[in-house]
Amino acid sequence: MTDDPITTDVLVIGSGIAGLAAALAAAREGDDVTLATKATRPEGSSSWWAQGGIAISRDTPEEFKDDIMAASDGTADPDAVDVLVENANEAVEDVLLETLDVEFDQNGSGHDFTREAAHSEDRILHVDASTGRHIHVPFLNYIDDHDGVEILDDTAALELIRHEGRVHGAMLESDGEVTPYFAGSVVLATGGIGDLYPRTTNPDNTTGDGIGMAALAGAEVEDMEYVQFHPTACTIDGDVAFLVSEAVRGEGGLLRNGDGERFMPDYHADAELAPRDVVARAVKAEREATGEVTLDVSPLDFEEEFPNLAERCTEHGVDWEDGIPVAPAEHFLCGGINVDDRGRTTLDRLYAVGECSRTGVHGANRLASTSLLEGLVWGLRAGEDAAGADPEPIEAPELLERDPDLPERFARDKFQRLTRVMAENVGVERDPADLQRAMAVLRRLKGEVDAYVRTRTSRSLYELRHASVTALLIARHAAENEESVGTHNLVDASEEPPESTAD
């Protein structure tokens, strides 16, 4: 560690669209910004993997709001939804169109808006079915070239520096060295929790870092039980090969079970375009009953409309003409660190944006193609609000390194234990008794990890610590919520499951 403290006006942790938007907004205010990210390439960010697109309000914000509320099963915060829909058009116009010049797909009359599940109209801007990378790469390059922003890649945040309810910075690790960075404000934009489950659409290293750090520092978290599973992850030999965008079903793709039968009309009146939680549970049930589920893309010109997905199928040896094998996979956490309409947490000078935050927009279930928009809108608002505070260095926590290195497979083995518990007990469907068992196992796991953290410092150990804290919060919130709603679906494993009925 250096003798002179390292300071920055705003420290952003995470390089997805939310973190980039926060860095941009703070830099526009004239602040010096440091952006720390674990990623070493664009693919390390969840934003890069976003397929479907980014929804905007167009000329019908009220209809957009209604769709968000309906998808959430009425649990979204109406005030938060207002913030999203009222700022959607301006944020996209300002950043994506005017600043970054993103070339969204066009048709003869302008932008080629598309529709996905639970949307009542075409309002989604997209680039084929790989929108995320077409937004993220130019955004990252733009921020990297900005004079007011310094990017630290392959850098992990291990712990927040705080005192008496205020956050002063974070302990950052790079190449085995840990350094305190002090900031006027800290913005957490660390993404999701994919590594907590064995099957996920997230990139590697999504270990719930921001949520774990914030919770350990005393920040309020909310809605942690609402974990969204995407119903159509292409799955080969039990592993996720790639995500099949909801836009495919929006354009006419049909879900068929192992007997070749289309089944979604039996589960919901909107069939394949029902909310994600409904489709995910239906796909799970049909896989268990008939052995498999495939996405039939014969009703559309798949190779013409989705060339990137057709290419991914070919790369993985999937003959899409025979149907794409799909299964539910962990996709998005609707809850997280509780924030207000400017991304402010319950700790002074600490902000959270993107998937690690809980804005209230998603409630118990997220509407398709709203995650990039939420990250953009809240990132801009948080970055602007975070600017203007002076860093005040304080005594940093001492992260000890006095015991021998961990056994080679320690973190890996503990992670496998954690993901197994989450998959078996805190998945698409949850039994109250299983949730209690999960909490008991996760408490023991957290205790074991805490014991090692007291005397050892490494990125893998702290990632495991953050993951164990976040997993325990998910299980605890799920156990405390006795109402099945949205992505939180309670079942009694001792009873026969009810037959599905049309909604």
Residues with active-site annotation: 276
Give Cα separations from 304 to 297, 300, 470 (angstroms). 12, 9, 41
Asked if residues 191 and 354 have their Cβ atoms less than 8 Å apart, the reply is: yes
From CA 324, how far away is CA 276, in angstroms rounded?
18
DSSP single-letter state for residue 44: G
Give residues with Cβ within 8 angstroms of 145, minimum separation 6: none
Residue carrying the six token digits 């750090």: 213
* Identity of residue 140: L
From CA 208, how far away is CA 228, in angstroms rounded?
15
Going by their DSSP bridges, the two strands 357-358 and 336-338 should be labelled as: parallel
The SS3 call for residue 396 is coil
DSSP single-letter state for residue 348: B
Give Cα separations from 353 to 23, 423, 466 (angstroms). 11, 26, 17
From CA 117, how far away is CA 248, in angstroms rounded?
10
Asked if residues 182 and 348 have their Cβ atoms less than 8 Å apart, the reply is: no
